[in-house]
Every structure is written in C-alpha cells, then in structure tokens.
Amino acid sequence: MSEGLHAIRPPEQRVEREMVRLRVNGAEHTVAVRPYDVLLDVLRERLLLTGTRRGCDMGTCGCCTVHLDGRPVLSCLTLALEAEGRDITTIEGIAAGEEAGALHPVQEAFVQAGGSQCGFCTPGFIMTAVSLLERNPDPTEEEVREAISGNMCRCTGYIAIVEAIRMAGRELRARRAGPSAAAQGRP
C-alpha cells in the first residue's frame, strides 16, 4: 500500500542513469542504474540473480542478505552505486570454492539438519552464516544466535538453523586442520 522506495520520483521526470561496474560472484557487469536503485533490485531484476529474496524491502527480514567484500549487508538497503568496485557475493556464488556441483559446507549442513523448510529465508541465513564462520570459526550457540538476529525465519524456530551453522563450523574447522582431520571430523 505504501508507495515504496521506487516511487520517489514521478515517472515523467527523467532521471539520469549512471553506468556502474559491479563485480558479482567474480564476474564483471556494467549496469545503468539510477542513483536510488538498490542492490537488491539490480541483482534480482537486472542480473536475474533471483536467489537473493525480497521479503520486506525495509531491512526487517534479512532475506536479501548478500556479501559486500565478505561482510553481510542487506541488499534492499544498499544502493547499487555503493557496491561499485567491491566484491559482491550472492547465494549463487557462495559455493564457488567447492568442486563443481558440490555445495558449500554451510549449504550442505542446512540440507542435512533440516535448517530450511519453506526455504525463502534460507539464502539470507546462509550468507550471514558463511560470514560468521569466516570471522569466528568456532562460535558458541549464543554467538550464532546473535549473528543471525537480523535474519527472520517463521518455519524452524531457528533451532535447526543454529544446529546447521554449528555443524558447518565443525566441518570447516576440520577442513582447515587438514585432509586427514577432515575425514575424522565428518559425522
């Protein structure tokens, strides 16, 4: 009902577009954007990277979380222009370091632990969790809960999500400890 961020200017008023270079999941894109275009719209509507979900357009649900230089941001509150020259990673690029077709350990843990029910919030949680585990490879349960507090899930009660993130943390730590330890670390 609200007119939203998109209706700030009446359409007959011509808005200057600016060419912006965006590096998304390692690939370079040039996109003509208006000053007020947010990253979420550019990802979903221009680059057709629809894995980043639109839940509220106002920074309350976390479904649109992506990484800017490895840090989680809400793409609905990030101007596309702010992202110029920075590394943008979306859910589509999160498993880039894995063997072809394999999931990132956080993704795999969400599958195994039942951390995803309807799945709509899942990409946002995974982006938040990957960033957390990069900064803090062995988070306590409280630290996990703190880290995901900006992401909303209505299906799981967060329990299986917390489990999945801690499960992924164990896997990632085992990997870092070396291949033999990795084999032992797997359940």
Partner 1 sequence: MSGVVGKPAPLVDARAKVTGRGVYTDDVKLPGMLVGKILRSPLAYARILSIDTARAEALPGVRAVVTGRESEVRFGVLPVSRDETAMAVDRVRYIGDCVAGVAADDEEIALEAVRRIEVAYEPLEPVLTLDEALKPAAVPIHDRTLAGTNVQKAVDQSFGDVEAAFAASAFVERRQFRFAAVTHAFTEPHCVIAHWDHDGRLTVWSATQVPHYLHRALSEVTGMPMHLIRIIRPMVGGAFGGKSDPFPHEMIAALLSRRTRRPVKILFDREEVFLTHHGRHPTRTDMAMGVSSEGRLTGLDLKSLIDGGAWGSFGVVTTYYNGVLCMGPYRIDHFRYSGKRCYTNKPPSGAMRGHGAVNSRFAMEVLVDVLAEKAGLDPIEFRLRNLLPPMTTTINEFRITSNGTREALETVRQASEWDAQHGKLPYGEGIGVACGFYISGSALPIHWTKTPQSTVHVKIDSDGGVTVHSLAAEIGQGSDTMLAQCVAEPLGIPLGRVRVFSSDSDTAPIDLGSYSSRVTFMAGNAARRAAEEARKELVAAAAALTGYQPEGFVLRDEQVVYAPDPRIAVSFMDALQEAIKGRGALVARGCYAAAPPMGGKFKGAAAGLSPSYTFQAYVARVSVDPETGFVAVRKIWAAHDCGRALNPTAVIGQIQGCVHMGLGQALAEDFRYHRGNVLDANLLDYRTLTPKQMPPVDVFLIETHDPEGPFGAKEAGEGPILPVAPAVANALHDAVGVRMQELPMTPDRILSEILRGAPGPKARPPAPAGGAGSGRPLVPAGP
For the CB of residue 165, give the shortest distance to partner 1 in the complex, in Å: 10
Q: For 130, list phi and psi in degrees, rounded to 5.
A: -60, -45
Which lies closer to partner 1 via its Cβ, residue 79 or residue 120? 120
List the structure tokens of 64: 């649109």
Q: How far apart are CA 34 and CA 16, in angstroms?
A: 6
For the CB of residue 136, give the shortest distance to partner 1 in the complex, in Å: 16
For the CB of residue 170, give the shortest distance to partner 1 in the complex, in Å: 18
The set of residues, in sequence order, having a beta carbon less than 8 Å from that of 56 and lying 6+ positions away, is 63, 76
Q: Count other Cβ atoms within 10 Å, centred on residue 37.
A: 22
Which lies closer to partner 1 via its Cβ, residue 7 or residue 180? 7
Which lies closer to partner 1 via its Cβ, residue 49 or residue 174? 49
For the CB of residue 72, give the shortest distance to partner 1 in the complex, in Å: 15
Which lies closer to partner 1 via its Cβ, residue 6 or residue 71? 6
For the CB of residue 85, give the shortest distance to partner 1 in the complex, in Å: 24
For the CB of residue 86, give the shortest distance to partner 1 in the complex, in Å: 20
Let me know the angle formed at the C-alpha of 104 by 100 and 108, rounded to the nearest 5 degrees.
110
Q: Nearest to residue 90, comparing CAs of 102, 112, 107?
A: 107
Which lies closer to partner 1 via its Cβ, residue 8 or residue 181? 8
Query: Applying CB under 8 A, which residues contact partner 1?
Result: 1-4, 6-7, 9-11, 48-58, 60-61, 63, 90-92, 95, 103, 107-108, 110-112, 114, 116-123, 126, 142, 144-146, 148-149, 151-162
Identify whether the C-beta of residue 31 lies closer than 8 Å to the C-beta of residue 42: yes
The set of residues, in sequence order, having a beta carbon less than 8 Å from that of 164 and lying 6+ positions away, is 106, 109, 110, 112, 113, 114, 115, 129
Which lies closer to partner 1 via its Cβ, residue 118 or residue 177? 118
